[in-house]
Amino acid sequence: MSETYKPGAVDLTGEDIHWDQDVSYGQYLGLDKLLDCQTLRSDQHDEMMFIIIHQASELWMKLSIHELTGAMEQIRRDELGPAFKMISRIARIQEQLIQSWNILATMTPSDYLKFRDSLGQSSGFQSYQYRIIEFSLGNKNPGMVEVHKAHPEIYRQVRAALDTPSIYDLTLKLLYDRGFNVPTDKLSRDWSEPYVASAEVEQVWQQVYAMADKYWDLYELAEKLVDLEHRFQSWRFSHLKTVERVIGYRRGTGGTGGVSYLSKALELQFFPELWSVRTSL
């Protein structure tokens, strides 16, 4: 080897380091507040990891909502290029959310049971950001907003996501505006109710897929939505298996059946015709 190993600190000679900053890294990121949010309710080692995993997930969900809101506005304007970038970014965020379950799965049942009572009745079921994402993707359920009634501003945000068109509703409106025969009952309805699959809508997607070269941007939008749902379901599955691994079939702290409740969610679809069209092509 021609180079000589030199132990010690990096040589800063010639570097123009800003030792005094008008805005420091910590100030810009608000680290004094962010790193002071991990309040343990027990003396158990694994509680720190449990809290940080869930807090980090909420930050990723905040970014997902930001990107999803932007993508929906671009679809509304029929400006699909920027929407594609935003949806692709959400897919990368979902990878981080899925990976978080792998970290949480390092906690054994006995580790968790040592501090589980400290959670009281708090539960991920109560995550209002998760509910906003779910409603924005189209999994509407009016009953799910009731858990947030005690918090007026949060309730308002969740209710707004429930009562406005989902990303799939906006996509169907775009198809209609482009001249496709989308049934009118899919364009004006009670947005707080779950979307019901339609044979006519499946036929519209058949046209898009059969002539992908002609309708390339709509075809790409469809595939990005499929990818979005695929990753969301992968997150749900990882959640289910992690819960099963750590607490088995105990009831959740928020009152749900735990694994039995999570398994029901795996049966739901956001964009049904984008899945059924694969069989009918």
Known binding positions: 50-54, 112, 116, 239, 253
Residue among 62, 42, 66, 38 nearest 52 (CA): 38
**Residue 168 · residue 228 · CB < 8 Å:** no
- Residues across the chain: 281
**Residue 162 · residue 193 · CB < 8 Å:** no
The residue whose two tokens read 């949010």 is: 37
Q: Report CA torsion sign: 129, 134, 140, 141.
A: negative
Q: What are phi and psi of 211, to 5 degrees?
A: -125, 55
Residue among 204, 173, 210, 200 nearest 189 (CA): 173
Binding residues for substrate: 50-54, 112, 116, 253
The helix/strand/coil state of 6 is: coil
| Residues in Cβ contact with 54 at an 8 Å cutoff, skipping those fewer than 6 apart | 124
The helix/strand/coil state of 12 is: coil
Other Cβ atoms less than 10 A from the Cβ of 209: the count is 18
| Residues in Cβ contact with 168 at an 8 Å cutoff, skipping those fewer than 6 apart | 137, 138, 195, 225, 270, 271
Binding residues for heme: 239
| Residues in Cβ contact with 224 at an 8 Å cutoff, skipping those fewer than 6 apart | 84, 87, 88, 91
Q: What are the structure tokens assigned to 35, written together?
A: 């790193």
